[in-house]
Structures are given as C-alpha cells and as structure tokens.
Chain A
Amino acid sequence: MTGWGADAVSVRFGSRLALDLVTVTAVPGQVTAVVGADGAGKTTLLRCLAGALAPSAGAVRRPPARRIGYLPSGTGVYVDLSVTENLTFRSVTYGIPASAARRHIGDYLERTGLDAAADRLAGQLSGGMLRKLGVVAAMLPEPKLLVLDEPTTGVDPVSRADLWWLIARAAAGGAAVLMSTTYTDEAARAARVLVLDSGRTLAEGTPAEIVAAIPGTIAVLPGPPATAEERRLAWRRAGAWRLWQPPPVSLPAAAPSAAALSAVSSPAAAPSAVSSPAAPLQAASSPADSASAPPSPAVSWPAAPSSAAPSAAVSSPAVSSPVGAGPPGRRSELVTPDLQDAVCVAALRRELDAAGPFGALGVGDA
C-alpha cells in the first residue's frame, strides 16, 4: 500500500501488551484518524509513527525525521518561550530559511488568531491556543508525515474549527496526516479511520466502509430496554435507546430465532455479513467481504461458555429471545447507522465476546 504507516505493529511495556498487531496507513494528501478511549493505545501507535518509540514487533514506514512533524500528547512546545520564540526555534532546528519561516509563521498566526498572543509565553495560553501553537509548530517544516496526538481534546468547538482548518491545509499541501481523537464525530471527518480498543483494532477503513461492515442492523427502541437481552445489546444515544440486532445466524439449533428476528431484521442482515466477533470489524476494500470472513462464524459467537453448555437457558444472544421485538406492541425503527454506532457495536461485540453469556449478564460479578 502507498503511504506511510505501521504494519502489524505490537508494543510491549513489561508484561503489558500496549499494541497488538495494529496496522494503519497514512496516505499523502489525506487525513487518517485514530479513534479510541484514553488508554486504547493511540499515543503508543503515534509515537511509533513519529519515530519516538521502537515497536516490539512489526514494521513502521516513515519518512526521515526531518520530514516528520509531530505534536506529542503533552504541549509539544516550550512553555517558557513566547509563541513567536517557539516557532522561530522550531524553524531553526529544522533548518528552514529565515525568510520562508517568517512568511509561514506570520500567515499561520494570523489565520489561527494566535497573532494577538504572539509575544505571550506559551505556558500562559488557553488550552485551545496552546494546541493551535503545537500544530502550527509541527507543520512548519512542511512535513511529509504529520503526526498529531489528540490535537483537539478538551478544545472548544471554535478552536477545534481552527485546528481542523490547519489539518486540512496540511493535507491539501500533500502531507499524510495521522491524528488521534476521542471524538467519533471528528474521526468521521477523516478519509480513513482506525478504531482502537485496549491496544487492538476494532475497525479500520473509510468511515463508510466501517459503517457498511456492521453486522446486522441497528434500531431505535420505543423506550428503555425491556428485556435482559435488550439490555445487553442496547445503548443510549441522543436521549433514546439504540439496539444492535445481530444478523440471523444459520445455526441448526437456532432455527426458531430467525423467525423471531424477522419482524425487525433487514435484507442487509445476510448471514454472509457475519464475521467472528474476535476479528476486528475490518472493512475490506473489495466488495467480496464475505470471502474473507471466517467460514463458520455463527458457532463462535459468543465464544467460550456457549459451546460448552449449549442449553436453551444459556444460548448465544443472537439465538435466544426475540431481540428487538420486546413485549407485544413494541416496535423498533431501523436507523441508518453512523460511525458512532459502528464503534458502539464493535465495543459491544468485544464486551460480549470477552464476558461470554454469563459475564455479560453480570452473573460472575454478583
């Protein structure tokens, strides 16, 4: 694949596996977003790309250090230098000719509203101003690869717009931009997205590919979840409840469930769309996704205890009660999912997978 990136990178800190076989590509002229919660491994991955950390395994493709712009997770600037001093220092260290540096600095400062604070110490800037300064500093050497660690976290929407303008400008200038964020709506602005969770890939692809790869359908419940099944597969969004309806599975023992699901399932929920829950929601670039999916996914969902005790009482969530149908008279509406739904479903699947039917019901915790 073209561009910079990481191939099957793993990072181990002592006994902890911070990154587990993560692959990401940063394409010139495009923005790639790495989205995940705090602790998901975003910073570790970005440090590898920036050359600040050597992975324990896997390969990193990156340009020479001089052509990498990097905003680390801290401030990324000297808090005891002024805005202008920081940028001047940065240009000198990167060997940028003074006249070009002055022109760039003046332009960026004006367009980001930092000009009013040009002589202020970086340590006295507001959070949003400080991040803008960090991004401008990282962009100064006109890098081929621009690595930005959470440039917008905790930043208000107005400064965030300035930051996005800077990021778009860098990409428009041909840089491959790799940025991390905790906001899904922000990740949806990127050309490609990598969703990380506990150091592993939950999903990867364009936002549209990731959404298209959601197995099954998503509905809005008419009220709070009414059954234990619904509670396991529902989450709150925009004051309402969304319910993931796994695709009907062609498991012999599960035949009745298909009928139960039919009231709310859609044609999109074809069995071929099912992939193993352990596998990431990997959006294939080819439409023949089913070809790459494991051949017998149904039985492996959810993993451990169900295969050991396939009794009627403890069957897989997709198989048991009429998910989404709830009590008589309840009707759920299918919705067009977005990236946030896709991330929630991926996290739900991982949760169900890790817990098994007992854990997901909280039995083990009681």
Chain B
Amino acid sequence: MPEPLAECAGVTRRFGRLTVVDGVDLAVGPGEVVGLLGANGAGKTTLIRMLLGLLPVSGGSVRLFGRPPSRAARRRIGYVPQGLGLYEDLTVAENLAFSRAVFAGSVSASSATPATGVPRPLRRYAGICVRDLPLGVARRAAFTQALEHAPELLLLDEPTSGVDPLGRARLWETIGETVAAGAGAIVTTHAMEEAGECSRLVVLASGRVVAEGTVAEIVGRARTAVVRSGDWAAALRRLEAAGVRALLSGQTLRVPDRAAADVARALAGLPVQVGEEPATLEERFFGLVAAKVPG
C-alpha cells in the first residue's frame, strides 16, 4: 500500500473542556477521495484545520506526506475553503496572478496554463470581479486557483454548495481528473447526492468516527418503513402521536430505523399500506448520528 498523503492517528482537539475532535483515525492515499460526513459541530472543519497545520492537535498526531504539517507541506496542498478563498474585489485574472505569485516556484512546469493566462472555461470571465460572478463560475475559479500548482492533496470544504446539478457534476469531473492523475482528496459535504462521488466515506458525530466505508457499506442492511396512504397527513399525525417521526416524500411517508410491523401497529385502523425499503444514506445517517448525540 502506498504511503498515505495525509494521516490522522488518534487525533483529538479540545477547546477548554469541550472535546471537538475525539480520537479520529483517518488516512487518504493517492487516487482516493475521502468524504467527511457529519452534522454541524461534528468536528469536520476543526479536523481540516488540524490537517492544514492551522490548528495544533491536543492529542494524537497528524502527518502530511509522512511528516508533521509544515509550510513546505502546505505547498503541496490545494485547498478550497467554504468561503472560496478568492478576493472579491479582484478580477478572476488578478486572483489567479496573485495565487501564482504566492506559489511561485512550486507551480508545476506541466501546468497547462501559461503563466499569465486564464484557462479557457474561465477566459470570458477573466476581467470580471469575483463578487460579480455567478456562484458556479466563482467556484470554478476557486478550483482553478487551488489546482494550478498541481497539488498532491486536495482539501475541499463543501466544494459544490449552491451549484446546480450539472455545474456540480462538472466540478466533480475536475476533482476526478486530478485524483485519477494520482492526487488524493478529502471533501466535507452535507449533500448526500455528493457522497456517491467519494471512494470512501468517514462519518463523524460529536467528534468521533461512527462509520466508515463506501455508501453501500455504511447503509448496510438498514431498512426504512414506507407508508403509502391516500391521506398521508392523517398517517403523519397518528405516527406523531405515537412518538414516531416520519419524513414526507412525495405522497408517502418514510420512517427510518423502524420495522414495518411496528409502524403498521401504530397506524392500525387507517387505510394504509406499510412496506420496507432499503434505507438511503441520509436515513442511515440519522440513525448513526442520533445514536451518538444524547437527547
């Protein structure tokens, strides 16, 4: 197995008495996209900041390219923060020129872009201030900036939020090409649609890893009870009274982590059909996280 590009071993971070990241093990190797999934406050951003060396660990160790995080290691990382990391009052061309100056010396000679140019998909926006760009284009520019120095490791924090499905697919094409060329990537996301793009997922809850694997491995055999009824509202109210929370999906109700028989019992007397279907990743996620968060 090739050496991991980034590795966390028992990483812990405390803020005062609050433990935000609690004994996390994580590794990403060349050609891998690891998705970090977690509720708000699960510790995703703190973990990313420790990986970047922006925040010291309270316990455990972080290694980047086999060594502790350093400025030199950061040169080999492409980072797209949630806020994109572009200067809003500079144009696309100016932003790219600035980041090239910052990374001067480490920009790979094989980079397809001439030193002063703007790559083709962005060329028509070259002279436009970032604040005036449509979000999809701004994200594209942030990706371009983060990838220009041919990084070996990508750290992407919610890279496609607010982008339409086709635009998102295009951004994932870029991630996919970079990874196919031998880089590794760590991606945080809330969008379950995006989880399928990752080669492996790590689910965090309250700072701990609660599940790890492919989407299929994480969902496993989890089932969801599905209620079909001409009057879903009545079924919803009945379930609510029984303390069971159902999720509306079109005209059907889905009840994660409940057996069809239990749900049918709660709905006795109503004209409903209750079946079971494999859980979605999102539904499995509720179970994983709810088990972890007290109350």
Contacts and interface: CB of A to CB of B under 8 A. Distances in A.
Interface of A: 29, 31, 36-40, 113, 116, 126-128, 153-161, 164-165, 167-169, 171-173, 182-185, 188-191, 197, 206-207, 235-239, 340, 343-344, 347-348, 351, 362, 365-366
Nearest 5 A/B pairs, CB to CB: A238-B196, A37-B164, A172-B233, A168-B248, A235-B169
Q: Which of B38, B134, B165 has the most CB of A within 10 A?
A: B165
B124 interface: yes
Given A158-B39, A197-B164, A366-B120, 6 more contacts: A37-B134, A37-B135, A155-B190, A156-B38, A157-B289, A239-B196
Contacts of A36: 164
A154 B173 CA distance: 23
A157 B190 contact: yes
Contacts of A197: 164
Contacts of A366: 120
A184 B165 contact: yes
A187 B248 CA distance: 11
A168 B164 contact: no
14 contacts: A38-B135, A39-B134, A40-B164, A157-B282, A158-B286, A160-B190, A161-B247, A164-B248, A165-B246, A171-B248, A236-B170, A237-B169, A344-B165, A347-B164
A175 B271 CA distance: 23
Contacts of A164: 247-248
B295 interface: yes
Contacts of B167: 37, 347
B41 interface: yes
Contacts of A173: 233
Contact of A236 (B172, B191, B199, B246): B172
A317 to B, nearest CB: 16
A127 to B, nearest CB: 6
B197 interface: yes
Given A156-B190, A343-B164, A366-B120, A236 B169 contact: yes
Contacts of A206: 250
Contacts of A169: 236, 240
B211 interface: no
B73 interface: no
A158 B289 contact: yes
Interface in B15-56: 38-42
A17 to B, nearest CB: 15
B289 to A, nearest CB: 5
A154 B161 contact: yes
B191 A171 contact: no
B136 A37 contact: yes
A110 to B, nearest CB: 11
Contacts of B172: 236
Contact of B236 (A38, A168, A351): A168
Interface in B221-239: 232-233, 236-237
B267 to A, nearest CB: 14
A173 B236 CA distance: 10
Contacts of A184: 165, 193
Nearest to B160: A182
A184 B168 CA distance: 11
B169 A156 contact: no
A278 B192 CA distance: 31
A189 B282 contact: no
B158 to A, nearest CB: 8
Contacts of B191: 183, 185
A31 B161 CA distance: 23
Contacts of B286: 157-158, 161
Nearest to B38: A156
Contact of B193 (A156, A172, A340, A362): A340
Contacts of A167: 248
Contacts of A237: 169, 196-197
A106 to B, nearest CB: 15
B127 to A, nearest CB: 15
Nearest to A347: B166
Nearest to B176: A236
Nearest to B173: A236
A3 B63 CA distance: 59
Contacts of B169: 235-237, 344
B162 A127 contact: no
Contacts of B121: 362, 365
Interface string B271-295: 0000000000010011001100101
B3 to A, nearest CB: 24
Nearest to B233: A172
Given A154-B190, A238-B197, A191 B250 contact: yes
B123 interface: yes
Interface string B135-177: 1100000000000000000000010011111110110110010
A140 to B, nearest CB: 18
A156 B39 contact: yes
B165 A343 contact: yes
B74 interface: no
Nearest to B167: A37
Q: Which of A38, A155, A343, A351 has the most CB of B within 10 A?
A: A38
Interface string B118-136: 0011011000000000111
Given A37-B135, A172-B236, A365-B120, A153 B285 contact: no
